[in-house]
Structure 1
Amino acid sequence: MTDINPESDVVAAPSVPVATAVGGEPAGRRRVRDGLHFALRNKKVVGGSAVILAFLAVGLVAPLFFDYGHGEYVGPPSAPPSADYWFGTTTFGQNVFLQFAHGIRSTFLVGLLGGALAALIGMTIGFMAGYFGGLVDEFLNMLTNIVLVLPALAVLIILHTYIGITSVPSQALFIGLFSWPWVARAVRAQTFSLRNRDFVDLARLSGMSSGAIIRREIAPNMSSYLFMTFILLFGGAVLFAATLDFIGLGPTGSVSLGLMMNNAVHWSALQLGLWWWFIPPGLGITVIVGALYIMNVGLDEVFNPKLREM
């Protein structure tokens, strides 16, 4: 199993296959076809993907069936789950299910934006450090270590105090800026193992630029590893955002699963026995992150022939 450990300097991973054409079929197309073939037969990948798609469908489709907003007072206060209000209502008569659906939207958006930003920064730095080595590697490794040792939560508290997190994109920006160091180390280690391969030397001799070599020769041979890394970043961004929202450092102009739990605690839902207010968002975060982890384990089995189930 591929070991992606954010706390480790060295990332152990299976050897990366070199892309070659067989029987006239491009290697990239063949790799994608084989990957889909085994992914659709892996129960972890199929099950995790089904859960993620189900939550995404709820977040995108469910709000369309309501003619009022998630913050409007539409029902009796503190009503338990019923046919009219599937997840009950808050102490102010707000529909908890509608808030839950909107919260899923925010959860996926911050996961996508925060994970994508962290992946972009980490992979760029990792590729450059691993390919060029020398002074470039030393400088980028020093930068990575500086960000790695910064107390991210404390820095975010300070930034929130002076700047404020007013929207989901701004929250994703802060999360992405502090989530990339372990990605940089992982990609750097993989690039080190690929930069002296024969196909990279051949690309250099052909006059291809360093950037083109990284994009066309090295990155494609790490595509499965990079995809699995993004899944971990997605789940990490979801957890990070939920933590910030729960302690009151998230955007208050919208609703999220973490903010729902924050409001439930703030208005004494636990003491009042309003379990339907705080259990759905907490369970939703747990299931989403758990499904992403299961998907990652399944993809490891798909991409690693030693673990692959025939």
Structure 2
Amino acid sequence: MSTLPEAAAVTGAAEAPAPRRETLHYAVRNPKLLVGLAIVLLLLLAGLVGPLLLDSSDPNEYVGPQAAAPGGDYPLGTTTFGQDVWAQFVYGLRATFLVGVVGGGIAAVIAMLVGFLAGYRGGLVDEVLNMLTNIVLVIPTLAVLLIVNAYLGVRSVPVQGVFIGVTSWPWAARSIRAQTLSLRGREFVDLARLSGSRTWRIVFREIAPNMNSYLFMMFILLFGGAILIASSLDFIGLGPTDGVSLGLMLQSAQQWSALQLGMWWWFVPPGAGITAIVGGLYVANVGLDEVFNPKLRES
């Protein structure tokens, strides 16, 4: 999840962008984009609406027979403690999307601020920010998150997303810096500079609009990356202590020997949910690459 498709590069960004109508025309006809979005939106809808349809607001409540197979009142069965797996699943979907939005959003904002400023200003500013980026880049992110999470008394999904966001931005910042370096010498940027526009006005009014597709695809990758990191932390027992997530469902299933007991309905849904979300995001990202890149459309 740490590289952007080559076709997203904005080497020809100074040229007039394709009309929105043309982009929409290719978007609604791209099967990869439609399939990926359909998968993600379906799971998002389940995470938003599913909890509202449940009788209980506590997904960890003991509500039924122990280790019951799917069927009847429990479409995904129950755990060895009589907890409704479907309730945990829909609440887990909500938590998974939340950590993706928070972690991916924070990482994207930091990456844009650092990348744009370093690429446009250059000189000492670029050297300092590049050094900071390299330092964060070589720090073992998972190890830092393990230490931080281990010492937090109460862990929540938003807090987990914040820590993921502040540690997963370097690769995106370097990519944005490289694209900004290629754009800052263009004529339209020089004209804006000569007109007396300030740095951030030039960045967000002249440079950033020429990288819209690139930035959007970058956010998708950061979103999926945050979900994978959060799931890894959850699986080893360092997830939220005041809620439920798909990773925590896997951790509980593994801890209580669901595989050995043949309780496939306990670990298959959360594993399939994580795979479907991340896979759907990747497929949609490939589709967007084809939509925004005329060369890929023609091939």
> By the TM > 0.5 criterion, same fold?
yes
Hey, what's the Cα distance between the residues in 2 that align with 1:131 and 1:14? 15
Instruction: Identify the residue that residue 258 of structure 1 maps to in structure 2.
Output: 247
Instruction: Identify the residue that residue 63 of structure 1 maps to in structure 2.
Output: 51
Instruction: Identify the residue that residue 154 of structure 1 maps to in structure 2.
Output: 143
Instruction: Identify the residue that residue 115 of structure 2 maps to in structure 1.
Output: 126
Instruction: Identify the residue that residue 41 of structure 1 maps to in structure 2.
Output: 29
Hey, what's the Cα distance between the residues in 2 that align with 1:120 and 1:19? 26
What TM-score comes out, normalization by structure 1 length? 0.92
- Cα offset, 1:163, TM superposition: 3.0
What TM-score comes out, normalization by structure 2 length? 0.95
CA contact (8 A) 1:112 1:234 kept: yes
Instruction: Indicate which of 287, 290, 299 corresponds to 1:301.
Output: 290
Percent sequence identity over matched residues? 62
Instruction: Identify the residue that residue 23 of structure 1 maps to in structure 2.
Output: none
Number of residue pairs the alignment of both structures matches: 297
- Cα offset, 1:11, TM superposition: 10
CA contact (8 A) 1:4 1:12 kept: no
Structure 2 unaligned blocks of 5 or more: none
Alignment partner of 1:220 is 2:209: yes
Hey, what's the Cα distance between the residues in 1 that align with 2:36 and 2:12? 25
CA contact (8 A) 1:5 1:11 kept: no
Instruction: Identify the residue that residue 5 of structure 1 maps to in structure 2.
Output: 3
Instruction: Identify the residue that residue 182 of structure 1 maps to in structure 2.
Output: 171
Instruction: Give the aligned residue type for 1:62.
Output: G
Structure 1 unaligned blocks of 5 or more: 21-26
CA contact (8 A) 1:122 1:180 kept: yes
Residue deviations 1:115-159 (CA, integer Å, cap 9, x gap): 000000011100011101111111111000100110111111221
Instruction: Identify the residue that residue 263 of structure 2 maps to in structure 1.
Output: 274
Hey, what's the Cα distance between the residues in 1 that align with 2:147 and 2:54? 38
CA contact (8 A) 1:117 1:176 kept: yes
Hey, what's the Cα distance between the residues in 2 that align with 1:62 and 1:32? 34
- Cα offset, 1:187, TM superposition: 0.1
CA contact (8 A) 1:264 1:270 kept: yes
Hey, what's the Cα distance between the residues in 2 that align with 1:124 and 1:16? 22
- Cα offset, 1:178, TM superposition: 0.9
- Cα offset, 1:32, TM superposition: 3.0
CA contact (8 A) 1:167 1:251 kept: yes
Q: Secondary structure at the match of 1:270?
A: coil
Distance verdict in 2 for CA 1:262–1:87, change over 3 Å: same
Q: Alignment RMSD, CA only?
A: 1.9
Instruction: Give the aligned residue type for 2:219.
Output: F
Instruction: Identify the residue that residue 67 of structure 2 maps to in structure 1.
Output: 78
Instruction: Indicate which of 99, 102, 107 corresponds to 2:96.
Output: 107
